[in-house]
C-alpha cells in the first residue's frame, strides 16, 4: 500500500535549480555565518568573549563532533551518532551554529514539535515522552504557544514551563514559540525576560492567529516581533520564523508572502521552519524561490505524518491547505481504519523526506508530532536518523542550557535521580567545572514537593501498587521488591518490577554487570539504591562504561550505597575497621548518628576519564557534605513515594515507615580500583554474622515494627 518512488532523480530538480536551492551550503554560508559561528572570515575560531585557553577547535563547543563511522546524507538503518565533546573549558553553542555545523558536515538532522498538555498528569506524560524521544538524538525540539492557555504563566501546563522542563529535565535544546497577536510591548518584554531567566535561548517568532476579541496588538506582523527581539536582546536569542511553501492563506499572493518572509529574515531571523506540505516538489520550489530573492538562511521542511483521518481533516482545516488528490484517493477508503492510515502516513512521509534528503536541498526535517511518538519514531528509524548507540558526553544526562554548559561534575548520590539534582541546584549561578572543590556547605535547594511533574514517577499509583504490592506483610516483602527489580523478574503476581522509588527507570547497563551480586544482598535485606563496579582504564567508547570523546580511558572506583538495619550497622562498623582502603559514611534519618572516616570537606573522586590533549575529567564524586543533603531525600522517598501509596495506619504503611525510621543509609568507596573490589567480601562477612548468631532480620510484621523502638536508645552508644 502506498506510492512507490521509482524515479532515478527523486528530487525532480534539474542541476541549475538544485544548485540554487543548495547554494547556502558553502560560499554563502561562510559569508553569512561568521557572526553566529564566532569564526573569522578565514574560518578560524574567533576568541570574542572567550578566554584564550578556550580557543581550541577540538574542545570549544559543547556539541563538537568526533570521528564517526557514517557521514553524509545516507538514508537507511540507524547509525551511531558521532559523540560530542563536553570536556574542560566548554563553550555554549547556539542552536543556529548547530544547524550550520550539520549543514556543513552534510549530516541531516531531525527536530520535534510538541504542544503543552491541559492537565498536570498530561505534563508528566509529555515529559516522559520527551525523555524517550531524546534517546534518538533530535537536534532540538520546540514547544507551541497558546494565548488562551496563559502560555507565559507558571502553571505546569504553560508553554513557558514545558519549554523550561524540556530544556533542563529532558536535556533537549528547546525552542519556545512566541506569538505577538494581541500582545503589547510590555507583554512581550515580560515573556522574553522570563524566558531568558529560565535559560531559554531559542524563540520561534510568530504572529499567531488574530484573537476573536479584536484586542489591538503592538506587533501587527511577525517581522515587528523579530525586530523587537533583536533590538532588545541583540544576539542573545536564536530566532526562527515560519515559512509557507504554499503561501500564507492571508497573504495577497505567494510572491508577496515571500517578500514578507525576506523582511523577517532581514530583521534578524536565523532560520526558517516551513508549514507542512505533502509533496517534495512544493518544498523544492519554495527553497528555490527564496534563494532567488536573496534569502540565505537555512530552511528546514516541516512535516506532519498523516496519523488518522480526523486529525488530517482538522489540521488541513486550520492551516487552509489542500491535500493532493492522489493522497485523498488513498486515504478516503481507509478513513475508518486508523492503523492503515497511520501505516500509509509513515510510508508517505518517509518517501517524501528521503527525496528531500537525496536532493541535498533539505538540511534536516522538523516533525509536527501532535504529541504522538510511534509514527514519528518509525519514520526517523526508517530514515536512519535515530541514534541507536548514543555515546554519552558525561556519565550523567547533560543539560544543554547555556547556564549549565560548563558543568562537569556532580555527586554520585543523584545518579539515578538527575531531575531532583537539577531541581535542587537550579538556583546556582556557577556549576563545578573540572573539580568539585571544597564542599563548605553546598547550598542545595530544599525538596519540599516530591510530586512536581518533572520529579514524580512516570507510573500511576495503580501501576506502582501492581509492582510493589497492594499489601506489605513483612520486611521480606520489601526486600523481594528490590530483588525482583535487580533480577528483572516478575513478582509473585506476575508483574515485572521496572522501578523503585530511588530509580524510576530500568537498570542501567553498568548496574547489570553486578546485578546478580546486588540481588543476593537485597534478598537478605541489604537494600542497595546506587552502585557502580570498579573499572581500570577501559576504552571511552565501551558500550557499558564509556563516555566522552574517542581515544580516552575510563576509571571508576567500586561504589555501593544501601539501607541496612540497626543491628547490621553495628556489625558493619566493626568489619570496616579491617579495610583501610574503604571510605565509608553511615547516617540515620534524623542525622543524630553520623559516622564516617572521610574528611568532611574533601570529596572523593569515584569516576574519571583521561583523554588526549586534555586535563583529567572527574564527573562524579562522593562528597560528605552533599551526602548529608542527599540522605534527607533518600529517606524521604520511603514515605513520599512508597508508604503513601497505602492508607494511613495500615500495616503496609507502618512497615515502610518503620524501615525509613530505623534503617541506616551507608555509602562505601573501595579506593583500590585496579584490584578486584573487597566490597562484596565486606558484605558477605556482614551476612555471615547473621548466620553465626541466628539473628535473621525481622521477617514478621510485629517483630519488624519493634526494630524502630530500639534505635534511639542505641544512638549514643553507637556514636562512641
Asked whether residue 110 carries a pLDDT value surpassing 60, the answer given is yes
pLDDT band at residue 211 using 50, 70 and 90 as cut-offs = low
- DSSP of 136-164: T--SEEEE---GGG-TTSSSTTSHHHHHH
Asked whether residue 205 carries a pLDDT value surpassing 90, the answer given is yes
Report pLDDT for 719: 37
Q: For residue 664, give the DSSP letter.
A: E
Q: What is the pLDDT of residues 129-164, one digit of tens each?
A: 999 999 999 999 999 998 777 899 999 999 999 999
Name the average pLDDT for the chain: 84
Lowest-confidence range among 47-61, 564-578, 604-618? 47-61
Instruction: Show which residues are catalytic.
Output: 113
Quick check: 175 and 140 in contact, CB under 8 A? yes
Q: What is the pLDDT of residues 32-70, one digit of tens each?
A: 443 343 333 333 223 333 232 233 322 323 333 333 333
Lowest-confidence range among 269-273, 450-454, 458-462, 566-570? 450-454
Of 118, 132, 116, whose CA–CA distance to 164 is shortest? Answer: 116
DSSP alpha helix (H) spans, 434-536? 461-468, 475-487, 509-512, 515-523
Which contacts qualify for 627-632: CB closer than 8 Å, 24 or more apart?
627/411, 627/413, 627/585, 627/587, 627/667, 628/587, 628/591, 628/594, 629/424, 629/442, 629/444, 630/411, 630/413, 630/414, 631/587, 631/589, 631/591, 631/665, 632/447
Q: How far apart are CA 652 and CA 648, in angstroms?
A: 9
pLDDT band at residue 432 using 50, 70 and 90 as cut-offs = confident
Report pLDDT for 9: 45
Report pLDDT for 706: 39
Asked whether residue 243 carries a pLDDT value surpassing 80, the answer given is yes
Higher pLDDT, 383 or 14: 383
Q: What is the mean pLDDT of residues 277-289?
A: 96
Percent of the chain with pLDDT over 70: 81
pLDDT band at residue 442 using 50, 70 and 90 as cut-offs = low
Asked whether residue 471 carries a pLDDT value surpassing 70, the answer given is yes
Report pLDDT for 592: 95
Of 357, 387, 364, whose CA–CA distance to 69 is shortest? Answer: 387
Report pLDDT for 445: 80
Report pLDDT for 31: 38
Beta strands in 547-663 (DSSP E): 553-556, 558-564, 582-587, 594-596, 604-610, 617-622
Higher pLDDT, 467 or 208: 467
Higher pLDDT, 151 or 120: 151
Domains of the chain plus CATH, in order, are 107-308+349-382 (3.20.20.220), 407-434+454-719 (no CATH)
Lowest-confidence range among 176-190, 205-219, 620-634, 683-697? 683-697
User: Among all chains, which residue has been given the C-alpha cell 560548563?
Assistant: 406
Of 617, 624, 585, 618, whose CA–CA distance to 603 is shortest? Answer: 624
Lowest-confidence range among 35-44, 255-264, 469-478? 35-44
Report pLDDT for 214: 62
Q: What is the pLDDT of residues 399-412, one digit of tens each?
A: 999 888 889 999 99
Half-sphere exposure of residue 580: CA atoms within 13 angstroms, side-chain side: 0
Report pLDDT for 146: 84
pLDDT band at residue 26 using 50, 70 and 90 as cut-offs = very low
Report pLDDT for 710: 42
Q: What is the pLDDT of residues 581-610, one digit of tens each?
A: 999 999 999 999 999 999 888 899 999 999
Report pLDDT for 447: 76
Report pLDDT for 83: 34
Q: What is the mean pLDDT of residues 311-336?
A: 85
Asked whether residue 166 carries a pLDDT value surpassing 90, the answer given is yes
Report pLDDT for 607: 97
- CA 321 to chain CA mean position, Å: 34
Q: How far apart are CA 461 and CA 457, in angstroms?
A: 9
Report pLDDT for 69: 36
Q: What is the mean pLDDT of residues 98-113?
A: 96
Q: Which residues have a Cβ under 8 Å from the Cβ of 509 and sit 6 or more positions away?
A: 543, 544
Q: How far apart are CA 68 and CA 81, in angstroms?
A: 7
Q: How far apart are CA 694 and CA 273, in angstroms?
A: 70
Which of left, alpha, beta for 299 (phi over 0: left; psi -120 to 50: alpha)?
beta
Q: What is the mean pLDDT of residues 624-653?
A: 96
Report pLDDT for 338: 87
Can you tell me whether residue 672 is helix, strand or coil? coil
User: What is the pTM for the complete model shown?
Assistant: 0.82
Report pLDDT for 467: 97
Quick check: 611 and 391 in contact, CB under 8 A? no
Quick check: 620 and 395 in contact, CB under 8 A? yes
Report pLDDT for 18: 47
pLDDT band at residue 341 using 50, 70 and 90 as cut-offs = very high
pLDDT band at residue 434 using 50, 70 and 90 as cut-offs = low
Can you tell me whether residue 103 is helix, strand or coil? helix
Other CB atoms within a 10 A radius of the CB of residue 18 amount to 19
Amino acid at each position: 500500500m502506498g506510492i512507490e518512488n521509482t524515479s532515478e532523480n527523486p528530487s525532480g530538480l534539474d542541476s541549475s535549480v538544485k544548485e540554487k536551492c543548495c547554494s547556502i551550503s558553502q560560499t554563502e554560508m561562510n559569508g553569512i555565518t561568521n557572526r553566529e559561528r564566532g569564526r573569522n572570515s578565514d574560518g578560524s575560531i574567533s576568541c570574542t568573549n572567550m578566554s584564550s585557553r578556550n580557543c581550541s577547535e577540538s574542545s570549544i563547543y559543547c556539541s563538537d563532533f568526533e570521528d564517526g563511522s557514517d557521514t553524509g546524507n545516507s538514508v537507511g538503518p540507524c547509525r551511531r551518532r558521532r559523540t560530542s565533546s563536553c570536556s574542560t573549558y566548554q563553550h555554549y553553542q547556539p542552536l543556529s551554529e548547530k544547524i550550520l555545523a550539520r549543514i556543513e558536515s552534510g549530516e541531516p538532522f531531525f527536530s520535534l514539535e510538541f504542544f503543552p498538555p491541559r492537565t498536570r498528569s498530561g505534563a508528566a506524560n509529555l515529559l516522559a515522552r520527551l525523555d524517550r524521544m531524546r534517546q534518538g538524538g533530535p537536534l532540538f525540539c520546540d514547544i507551541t504557544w497558546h494565548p488562551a492557555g496563559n502560555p507565559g504563566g507558571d502553571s505546569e501546563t504553560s508553554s513557558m514551563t514545558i519549554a523550561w522542563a524540556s530544556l533542563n529535565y529532558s536535556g533537549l535544546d528547546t525552542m519556545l514559540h512566541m506569538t505577538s497577536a494581541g500582545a503589547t510591548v510590555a507583554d512581550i518584554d515580560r515573556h522574553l525576560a522570563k524566558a531568558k531567566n529560565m535559560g531559554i535561548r531559542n524563540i520561534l517568532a510568530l504572529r499567531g492567529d488574530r484573537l476573536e476579541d479584536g484586542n489591538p496588538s503592538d506587533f501587527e506582523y511577525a517581522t515587528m516581533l523579530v525586530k523587537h527581539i533583536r533590538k532588545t536582546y541583540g544576539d542573545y536569542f536564536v530566532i526562527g520564523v515560519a515559512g509557507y511553501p504554499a503561501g500564507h492563506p492571508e497573504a495577497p499572493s505567494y510572491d508577496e508572502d515571500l517578500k514578507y518572509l525576506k523582511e523577517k529574515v532581514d530583521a534578524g531571523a536565523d532560520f526558517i521552519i516551513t508549514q507542512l506540505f505533502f509533496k517534495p516538489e512544493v518544498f523544492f520550489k519554495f527553497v528555490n524561490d527564496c534563494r532567488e530573492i536573496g534569502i540565505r538562511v537555512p530552511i528546514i521542511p516541516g512535516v506532519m505524518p498523516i496519523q488518522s483521518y480526523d486529525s488530517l481533516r482538522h489540521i488541513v482545516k486550520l492551516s487552509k491547505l489542500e491535500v493532493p488528490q492522489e493522497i485523498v484517493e488513498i486515504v478516503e477508503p481507509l478513513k475508518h481504519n486508523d492503523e492503515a492510515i497511520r501505516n500509509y502516513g509513515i510510508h508517505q512521509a518517509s518517501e517524501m523526506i528521503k527525496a528531500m534528503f537525496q536532493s541535498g536541498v533539505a538540511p534536516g526535517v522538523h516533525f509536527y508530532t501532535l504529541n504522538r511518538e510511534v509514527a514519528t519514531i518509525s519514520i526517523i528509524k526508517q530514515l536512519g536518523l535515530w541514534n541507536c548507540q548514543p555515546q554519552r558526553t558525561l556519565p550523567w544526562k547533560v543539560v544543554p542550557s547555556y547556564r549549565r554548559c560548563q558543568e562537569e561534575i556532580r555527586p554520585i548520590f543523584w545518579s539515578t535521580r538527575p531531575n531532583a539534582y537539577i531541581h535542587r541546584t537550579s538556583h546556582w549561578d556557577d556549576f563545578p567545572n573540572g573539580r568539585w572543590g571544597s564542599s563548605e556547605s553546598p547550598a542545595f535547594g530544599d525538596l519540599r514537593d516530591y510530586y512536581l511533574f518533572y520529579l514524580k514517577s512516570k507510573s500511576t499509583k495503580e501501576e506502582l501498587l501492581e509492582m510493589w504490592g497492594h499489601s506489605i506483610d513483612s520486611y521480606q516483602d520489601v526486600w523481594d521488591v528490590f530483588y525482583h527489580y535487580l533480577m528483572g523478574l516478575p513478582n509473585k503476581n506476575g508483574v515485572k518490577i521496572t522501578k523503585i522509588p530511588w530509580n524510576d527507570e530500568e537498570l542501567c547497563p553498568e548496574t547489570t554487570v553486578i546485578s546478580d551480586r546486588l540481588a543476593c544482598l537485597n534478598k537478605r535485606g541489604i537494600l542497595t539504591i546506587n552502585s557502580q563496579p570498579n573499572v581500570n582504564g577501559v576504552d571511552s567508547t565501551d558500550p557499558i562504561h564509556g563516555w566522552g570523546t574517542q581515544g580516552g580511558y575510563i576509571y571508576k572506583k567500586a561504589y555501593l550505597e544501601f539501607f541496612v538495619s540497626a543491628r547490621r550497622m553495628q556489625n558493619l562498623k566493626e568489619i570496616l575497621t579491617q579495610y583501610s582502603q574503604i571510605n565509608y559514611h553511615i547516617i540515620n534519618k534524623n542525622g543524630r548518628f553520623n559516622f564516617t572516616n572521610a574528611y568532611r570537606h574533601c570529596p572523593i573522586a569515584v569516576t574519571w576519564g583521561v583523554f588526549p590533549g586534555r586535563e583529567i575529567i572527574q564527573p562524579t564524586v562522593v562528597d560528605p557534605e552533599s551526602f548529608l543533603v542527599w540522605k534527607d531525600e533518600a529517606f524521604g522517598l520511603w514515605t513520599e513515594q512508597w508508604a503513601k501509596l497505602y492508607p494511613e495506619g495500615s500495616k503496609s504503611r507502618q512497615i515502610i515507615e518503620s524501615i525509613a525510621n530505623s534503617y541506616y543509609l551507608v555509602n562505601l568507596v573501595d579506593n583500590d580500583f585496579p584490584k578486584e573490589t573487597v566490597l562484596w567480601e565486606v558484605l558477605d562477612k556482614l551476612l555471615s554474622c547473621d548466620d553465626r548468631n541466628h539473628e535473621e532480620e525481622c521477617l514478621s510484621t510485629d517483630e519488624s515494627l519493634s526494630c524502630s523502638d530500639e534505635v534511639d536508645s542505641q544512638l549514643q552508644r553507637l556514636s562512641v
